[in-house]
């Protein structure tokens, strides 16, 4: 069993090596088969683990990664329900996206095609490492690994410097979070003497609450970076520079949920610190609202989805913050389905439009791309919380949990959910309804995508529609299968004795009414034949993302650049080096003064000689007088 | 015996190299020599040769109490391994270069290797000083004869600066010699000499300044970017990956055990200087347009952290430091080799004039990427292990300092990716329009280094095992206080 | 005759020599002044030796002053050798710079 588990991440790594090393020799087809095949086998292995309940309470240790007398960090995997669920999402959705990519990327030259897939496989490997690790250090290894893969994939079209900057921005912002994560790890090591989950969680209660709060906040800083929360969220929309399947896999379904995984994994620590939980909930809520408000008026199809992702991640953190860990994880799962579907659908649209991403130029694609339309519709319904789709059930749980935690959070969360449905329907209307607003050439080119792209869409659509049923509320005759499944690792939210049945009904009713209103409004405003996409007033502020990027540039980036320039030219070159050179120059100056004595005129030399002799003569003649004089002075 | 051979082989072959005429002959001879050194060492490390080979003692200047004694602890083995490994790599990477006066170049290179070997191996202060200078003199000639237009000026600064440090150390050694009860120069009697606090503090600074200049520690670092920029890149590789380790190594082997109280007294100051250097050099690196200067500042930044770790002096930091000395050596060598390839091929080191090499030279781009990732200490590259342990050690020492020092991982990402992006990504510029792949010798060297970086990043155990005895010895010595 | 007369004469000669060396620029005159100084010293040596001889007649244990007279011959020989070398230098100098002004000799400075 240990070998099988080791093979789960190893296979994508092999895929990475094969496609990477032989990238100049592999045909596109072979490359696609290798890349998707390795992920698929990993997926089968995870299924095997899942169905055999091969969970080990103890970590599976392979070798010592770091060892010294005081600290031992092993290269160990922890296969439990939580990591298995994440592995299922990563390899399952990952496989579908790989298949999709084989068609989406077919215009690339074989060498670049292979490069793309090798990065993608490396990403899956790192992500699996992240969720499999049995201690925080291995998690960090995967954590940084996915970061660098994200960097490589955002900058995949490296000829465009704009994309490269986006890639670097993503990596640097992630690193800001990583500082927090690393500090948390060091803190954990200094308190527990180990970074293993088992040691840390079983001894968590022995540590002072203030320290736990410090540790959990620092961990959350890491999560903020990786999961794009306020204030480190601005990289994610820019990360849309990468190919669309990358956005689907990395920047929607898996990598960005690593922060949720981390918090859910550390639930023992978080539960001990109400302060940290409050911070998590508030940051999550603020992000959900801010990102949703920005998404309302974006005109780039991928930007809308990116802000939507940020917002949905905020929802997940709300769930975690109010203590509903399993709900957060559940939303990760459903979100992986519908958001991957949305991105892949968007990719299909972009594909049909010949690379166009501006929704002001789309419209009326419903007829031309029926499969894409229907699957996209399902995804939109799911994310907007249409009753009994997966998104409804998970978001519903979050809202109900928020209600038990605090009323203001409940209302604001609900408001964010309304905004979600609004911007999603706006997108749907602008893309698929109304009439086509692009150029005639584009109109001629419109076509449905090939099967390799549509089949993953259909599978994901089914999952988005029905995937929620594993956790259908009791009121509607369901059962908490997921909560039960995760119970050994992550505790479910306890509502206490409150009666939540009534709330479920109210929510169901409110959702239906709300969606109807949103549908009517967006249909009226956005299912149109001409659409400028220009806004004024407050809408313009939203369309410009609250000018947050400009603010960061003005407050942080530019001052830093200037400061670095100041250090380089003033302190380093004129200051420190100036001092060092100054000493040398001073000595040279002195020597130049002394050198003047060496005039080269014989007369001078002789004069000096004669004078010196005279002086010496006088000195020795009057030695006693001189000494007496000197003694008088000193 | 092998300990002696490690010095003798480069000395003898180096002297012979001076008298060779043919360029190819002297080059092959040097490669042969460096490989022979490496083989000797590997035989020892693989336990093929009896362990008694690890030390060597002979009378040297008995009337002064100085003995020619060489000993190998784990720390020494690792640095000697680095030294023995980098030389063949450099010689192979520059296989196709035609140097002026090749006999002199290769002869001096080998002599420098011998000098550094001696520094690492010797346990007698006088012998140590002798080799310290022996390494410096060839470095002076190498830097001043091969390189860029301002090399004389740069080398002069380098030489005067380090020589000043050496002289302070010499004074320190002579005073220490007078203090030892048996009037000996040996490390053991230095360690066992009792000093008053005042004496110890004074002597500590005499030694430390020499080492700090060599490392170089902020604010004694300004000779370094200039010297690295102006000297020939092949020489810079040696200076940067092996020679700066002399300072760190000496602080670890000679400073901490001999002056433990003084080291403890001044640890806070030096750690703060190290951290300032770490951040300061990182920030300056982010604004460098010259590739070689950028790498030089990156190196200063890493050295700052390593120097701080010496004085943090707990298990984690010392272990991390020892591992990192090796790893930094191979990573920085890789970075310099790519710089060398770029400079010789495209005739410019200005980052703003380069671009789009990933289209033209994908293999080189990939290899540089590995080295760049090593430079930012990404997990699963070897640098991560060392930096993780060092930061961990720093955190155990002081939380605030560690938090401030950790900012450097953000900064390193900024300047490293600045470099990668400007050189390799984007579109081609006039200078890189006709760019080609690196020649296969340079590629081979880089591949060897990359594989080492990745393997040791995944499985660092060999390094830990090698240095385990030194770790125990140093830490037990420190824990007394 | 008292020895002080000789001393005053020698001192005067010496001073004339010193002043001549210091003030003149012509190499030959400087040379002659150097000779003047040497001869002033010679004169002193001879005078002192004579004085010593009178104070301690031959046969007494104390060293008599005849050593000094031998010194004088040494000095004359050395002076002769010096003159030959020095004149040769002056001739070479004249050939090179067409002057025997010593201030032309500061070329080494640059």
Residues of A with CB below 8 A from C109's CB?
A: 598-600
β-bridge partners, B57: B69
CB contact under 8 A, B396 and A141: no
User: Is it the case that residue A182 has pLDDT exceeding 60?
Assistant: yes
- Asked if C107 reaches chain A (Cβ–Cβ under 8 Å), the answer is yes
C103 contacts chain A (CB < 8 A): yes
> Which residues does chain B have within 8 Å of residue A187's beta carbon, measured at their own beta carbons?
395, 399
Q: How far from B48 is each of A7, B3, B35, B51, B53, CA to CA, in Å?
A: 36, 14, 17, 9, 10
Give the confidence band of A319 by pLDDT, cuts at 50, 70, 90. Answer: very high
- Residue C22 has its nearest CB partner, among A599, A600, A603, at A603
Query: Could you say which of C18, C102, C107 has the minimum Cβ distance to residue A602?
Result: C102
In order of A87, A485, B265, the CA distances from A83 in angstroms are 6, 12, 48
pLDDT digits 0-9 by tens, B460-476: 988 888 888 888 888 77
Res A511 pLDDT > 60: yes
Buried b / exposed e along B302-341 (16+ C-beta atoms within 10 A)? bbbbbbbbbbbbbbbbbbbbbbbbbbbbbbbbbbbbbbbb
- Which one, of B332, B322, B251, B339, lies nearest residue B299 by Cα? B332
Please say if the pLDDT value at position C58 is more than 70.
no
- Residue B57 backbone phi and psi in degrees, to 5: -135, 135
pLDDT at residue C36, rounded to an integer: 92
State mean pLDDT over A295-318.
Answer: 92
pLDDT tens for A254-303 read 899 999 999 999 999 999 999 999 999 999 999 999 999 999 888 899 99
Alpha-carbon span C9 to C6, nearest angstrom? 5
- Poorest-confidence range of A348-352, A489-493, B273-277, C84-88? A489-493
Exposed, middle or buried: residue A374 (CB in 10 Å: 0-12, 13-18, 19+)? middle
User: A617 is written with which tokens?
Assistant: 């003569």
**Are residues B162 and B214 in contact, defined by beta-carbon separation less than 8 angstroms?**
yes
Its sign, for the CA torsion A250, A251, A257, A259, is positive
Which residues 6+ apart lie within 8 Å of A195 measured at CB? A73, A135, A136, A137, A185, A188, A189
Among chain A residues, the shortest Cα distance to B403 is held by A183
- A-B interface: how many C-beta pairs under 8 angstroms? 135
- Do chains C and B touch by CB distance (3+ pairs < 8 Å)? no
Give the model's confidence band at A316: pLDDT under 50 very low, under 70 low, under 90 confident, else very high. very high
Residue A132 has pLDDT above 70, yes or no: yes
pLDDT tens profile B255-268: 888 888 888 889 99
More confident call, B430 vs A324: A324
The ipTM (two decimal places) reads 0.93
Over residues A38-62, mean pLDDT:
88
Lowest mean per-residue pLDDT among A181-185, A412-416, B421-425: B421-425
pLDDT tens per residue, range A573-609: 888 888 888 888 898 899 888 888 777 777 788 888 8
pTM of the predicted model as reported, rounded to 2 decimal places: 0.88
Interface membership of A557 toward C (CB under 8 Å):
no
Q: Mark yes or no for CB contact A602/C108 under 8 Å.
A: no
How far is it between the farthest Cα atoms of chain A?
125
- Give pLDDT, residue B391: 94
Average pLDDT rounded to a whole number, residues A531-552: 84
Beta-carbon count within 10 A of C67 CB: 11
- CA A171 – CA A146 distance, rounded (Å): 10
C19 touches chain A (CB under 8 A): no
A306: tokens are 């990116």
- Point out which residues pair with A135 in neighbouring strands: A196
Q: List the one residue out of A46, A25, A134 whose CA is nearest residue A90.
A: A46
Q: Which pLDDT value is given to residue C38?
A: 92
Confidence check: pLDDT of A239 > 80:
yes
Average of per-residue pLDDT across A388-415: 89
Over range B375-389, report the average pLDDT.
91
Distance CA B119, CA B113 (A): 10
- Is the Cβ of C102 closer than 8 Å to some Cβ of chain A? yes
Identify which has the larger pLDDT, A68 or A558.
A558
Coil/strand/helix, residue B205: helix
Count Cβ atoms below 10 Å from residue A415 Cβ, excluding itself: 14
Task: Tell me which of A191-200, A353-362, A416-425 is least confident.
Answer: A353-362
pLDDT of residue A497: 61
Q: Which band of pLDDT confidence, cut at 50, 70 and 90, is reported for residue B478?
A: low
Answer yes or no: is pLDDT of A57 > 80: no
Chain B residues touching A568 at Cβ < 8 A: 284, 287-288
Question: Average pLDDT in the B383-399 region?
Answer: 92
The pLDDT value recorded for residue B9 is 92
- Read off the pLDDT band of B81 (50, 70, 90): very high
Neighbouring chains of A at 3+ CB pairs under 8 Å are B, C
Question: Looking at beta carbons, which residues of chain A come within 8 Å of B471?
Answer: 68
Tell me what pLDDT residue C108 has.
58
Instruction: Compute the distance between CA of residue B280 and CA of residue A162 in angstroms, rounded to an integer.
Output: 28
Residues 100-129 of A with CB under 8 A from B: 111
- Per-residue pLDDT of A332-371, as tens digits, reads 999 999 999 999 999 999 888 888 888 888 888 888 888 9
The Cα angle at residue A87 between residues A82 and A93, in degrees rounded to 5: 130
Say whether pLDDT at B108 is over 90.
Answer: yes
Answer yes or no: do A68 and B288 touch at CB < 8 A: no
pLDDT at C65: 67
Q: Across chain A, what does the average pLDDT equal?
A: 88
Q: How confident is the model at residue C62 (pLDDT cuts 50, 70, 90)?
A: low
Tens of pLDDT, residue by residue over B3-41, are 888 899 999 999 999 998 888 899 999 999 999 999 988
Burial of B276 (0-12, 13-18, 19+ CB in 10 A): middle
| Interchain contact C62–A (C-beta under 8 A) | no
- Coil vs helix vs strand at A108: coil
Q: Do the chains contact at A159 and B359, CB–CB below 8 Å?
A: yes
CB contact under 8 Å between C103 and A602, yes or no, is yes
Q: What is the mean pLDDT of chain B?
A: 89
**Choice among A318-332, B100-114, B172-186, B343-357 with the minimum mean pLDDT:** B343-357
Mean pLDDT of A548-564: 89
């Amino acid at each position: 069993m240990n070998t099988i588990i080791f093979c789960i991440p190893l296979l994508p790594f092999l895929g990475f090596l094969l496609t990477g090393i032989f990238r100049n020799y592999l045909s596109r087809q072979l490359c696609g088969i290798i890349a998707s095949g390795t992920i698929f086998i990993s997926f089968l292995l995870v299924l095997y683990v899942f169905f055999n309940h091969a969970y080990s309470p103890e970590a599976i240790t392979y070798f010592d990664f770091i060892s010294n007398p005081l600290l031992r960090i092993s290269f160990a995997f922890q296969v439990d329900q939580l990591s298995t669920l994440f592995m299922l999402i990563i390899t399952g959705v990952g496989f579908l996206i790989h298949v999709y990519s084989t068609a989406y990327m077919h215009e690339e030259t074989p060498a670049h095609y292979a490069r793309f897939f090798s990065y993608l496989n490396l990403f899956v490997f790192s992500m699996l490492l992240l969720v499999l690790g049995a201690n925080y250090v291995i998690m960090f290894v995967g954590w940084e690994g996915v970061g660098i893969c994200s960097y490589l994939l955002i900058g995949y079209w490296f000829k465009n410097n704009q994309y490269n900057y986006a890639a670097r921005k993503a990596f640097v912002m992630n690193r800001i979070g990583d500082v927090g994560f690393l500090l948390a790890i060091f803190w954990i090591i200094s308190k527990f003497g180990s970074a293993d989950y088992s040691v840390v969680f079983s001894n968590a209660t022995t540590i002072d609450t203030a320290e736990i709060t410090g540790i959990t906040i620092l961990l959350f800083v890491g999560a903020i970076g990786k999961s794009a929360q306020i204030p480190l969220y601005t990289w994610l929309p820019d990360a849309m520079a990468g190919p669309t399947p990358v956005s689907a896999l990395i920047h929607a379904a898996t990598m960005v949920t690593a922060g949720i995984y981390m918090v859910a994994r550390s639930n023992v620590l978080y539960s001990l610190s109400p302060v940290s939980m409050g911070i998590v909930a508030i940051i999550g809520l603020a992000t959900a609202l801010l990102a949703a408000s920005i998404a309302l008026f974006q005109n780039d199809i991928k930007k809308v989805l990116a802000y939507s992702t940020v917002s949905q991640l905020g929802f997940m953190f709300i769930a975690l913050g109010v203590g509903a860990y399993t709900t957060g994880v559940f939303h990760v799962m459903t979100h992986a389905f519908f958001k991957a579907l949305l991105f892949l659908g968007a990719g299909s649209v972009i594909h049909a439009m010949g690379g166009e991403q501006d929704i002001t130029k789309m419209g009326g694609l419903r007829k031309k791309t029926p499969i894409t339309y229907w699957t996209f519709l399902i995804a939109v319904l799911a994310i907007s919380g249409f009753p009994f789709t997966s998104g409804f059930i998970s978001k519903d749980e979050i809202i109900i949990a928020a209600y038990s935690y605090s009323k203001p959070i409940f209302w604001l969360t609900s408001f964010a959910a309304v905004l979600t449905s609004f911007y999603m329907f706006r997108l749907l209307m602008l893309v698929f309804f109304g009439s086509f607003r692009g150029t005639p050439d584009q109109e001629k080119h419109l076509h449905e995508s090939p099967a390799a792209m549509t089949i993953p869409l259909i599978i994901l659509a089914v999952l988005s529609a029905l995937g929620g049923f594993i956790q259908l509320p009791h009121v509607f005759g369901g059962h908490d299968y997921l909560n039960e499944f995760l119970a050994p690792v992550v505790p479910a939210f306890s509502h206490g004795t409150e009666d939540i049945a009534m709330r479920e009904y109210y929510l169901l009713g409110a959702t239906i009414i709300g969606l109807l209103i949103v549908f009517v409004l967006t249909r009226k405003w956005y299912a149109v034949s001409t659409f400028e996409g220009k806004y004024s007033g407050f809408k313009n502020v939203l369309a410009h993302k609250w000018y947050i990027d400009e603010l960061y540039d003005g407050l942080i980036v530019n001052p830093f650049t200037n400061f670095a320039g100041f250090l380089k030219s003033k302190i380093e070159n004129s200051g420190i080096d100036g001092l060092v050179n100054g000493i040398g120059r001073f000595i040279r100056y002195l020597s130049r003064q002394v050198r003047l004595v060496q005039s080269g005129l014989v007369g001078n030399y002789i004069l000096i000689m004669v004078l010196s002799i005279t002086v010496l003569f006088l000195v020795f003649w009057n030695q006693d007088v001189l000494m007496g004089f000197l003694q008088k002075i000193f | 015996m092998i300990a002696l051979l490690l010095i003798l082989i480069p000395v003898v072959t180096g002297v012979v190299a001076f008298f060779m005429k043919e360029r190819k002959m002297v080059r092959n001879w040097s490669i042969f020599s460096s490989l022979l050194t490496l083989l000797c060492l590997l035989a020892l490390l693989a336990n093929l040769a009896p362990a008694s080979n690890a030390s060597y003692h002979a009378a040297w200047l008995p009337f002064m109490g100085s003995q020619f004694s060489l000993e190998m602890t784990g720390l020494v083995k690792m640095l000697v391994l680095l030294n023995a490994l980098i030389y063949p790599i450099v010689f192979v990477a520059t296989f196709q270069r035609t140097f002026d006066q090749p006999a002199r170049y290769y002869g001096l290179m080998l002599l420098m290797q011998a000098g550094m070997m001696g520094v690492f191996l010797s346990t007698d202060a006088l012998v140590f000083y002798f080799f310290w200078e022996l390494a410096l003199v060839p470095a002076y000639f190498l830097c001043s004869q091969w390189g860029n237009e301002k090399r004389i000026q740069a080398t002069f600064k380098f030489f005067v600066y380090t020589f000043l440090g050496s002289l302070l150390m010499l004074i320190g050694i002579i005073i220490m010699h007078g203090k030892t009860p048996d009037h000996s120069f040996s490390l053991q009697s230095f360690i066992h000499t009792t000093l008053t606090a005042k004496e110890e503090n004074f002597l500590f600074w005499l030694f430390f300044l020499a080492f700090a200049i060599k490392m170089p520690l902020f604010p004694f670092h300004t000779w370094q970017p200039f010297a690295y920029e102006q000297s020939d890149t092949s020489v810079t590789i040696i200076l940067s990956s092996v020679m700066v380790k002399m300072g760190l190594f000496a602080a670890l082997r000679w400073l901490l055990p001999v002056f433990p109280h003084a080291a403890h007294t001044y640890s806070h100051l030096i750690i703060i200087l190290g951290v300032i250097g770490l951040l300061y050099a990182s920030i300056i690196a982010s604004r460098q347009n010259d590739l070689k200067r950028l790498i030089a500042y990156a190196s200063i930044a890493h050295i700052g952290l390593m120097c701080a770790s010496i004085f943090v002096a707990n298990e984690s930091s010392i272990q991390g430091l020892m591992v990192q000395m090796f790893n930094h050596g191979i990573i920085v060598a890789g970075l310099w080799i790519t710089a060398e390839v770029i400079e010789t091929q495209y005739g410019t080191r200005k980052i703003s004039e380069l671009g789009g090499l990933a289209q033209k030279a994908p293999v080189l781009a990939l290899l540089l990427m590995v080295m760049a990732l090593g430079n930012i200490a990404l997990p699963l590259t070897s640098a991560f292990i060392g930096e993780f342990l060092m930061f961990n050690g720093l955190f155990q020492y002081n939380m605030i300092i560690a938090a401030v020092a950790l900012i450097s991982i953000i900064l390193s990402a900024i300047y490293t990716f600045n470099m990668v992006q400007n050189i390799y990504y984007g579109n081609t510029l006039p200078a890189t329009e006709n760019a080609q792949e690196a020649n296969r010798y340079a590629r081979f060297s880089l591949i060897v280094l990359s594989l080492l970086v990745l393997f040791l990043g995944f499985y660092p155990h060999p390094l830990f095992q090698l240095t385990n005895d030194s770790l125990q010895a140093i830490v037990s010595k420190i824990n007394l206080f | 005759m008292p020895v002080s007369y000789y001393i005053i004469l020698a001192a005067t000669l010496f001073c004339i020599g010193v002043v001549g060396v210091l003030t003149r620029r012509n190499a030959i005159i400087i040379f002659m002044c150097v000779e003047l100084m040497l001869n002033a010293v010679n004169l002193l040596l001879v005078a002192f030796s004579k004085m010593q001889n009178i104070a301690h007649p031959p046969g007494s244990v104390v060293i008599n002053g005849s050593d000094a007279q031998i010194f004088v011959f040494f000095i004359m020989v050395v002076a002769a050798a010096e003159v030959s070398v020095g004149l040769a230098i002056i001739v070479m100098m004249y050939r090179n710079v067409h002057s025997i002004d010593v201030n032309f000799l500061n070329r080494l400075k640059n």
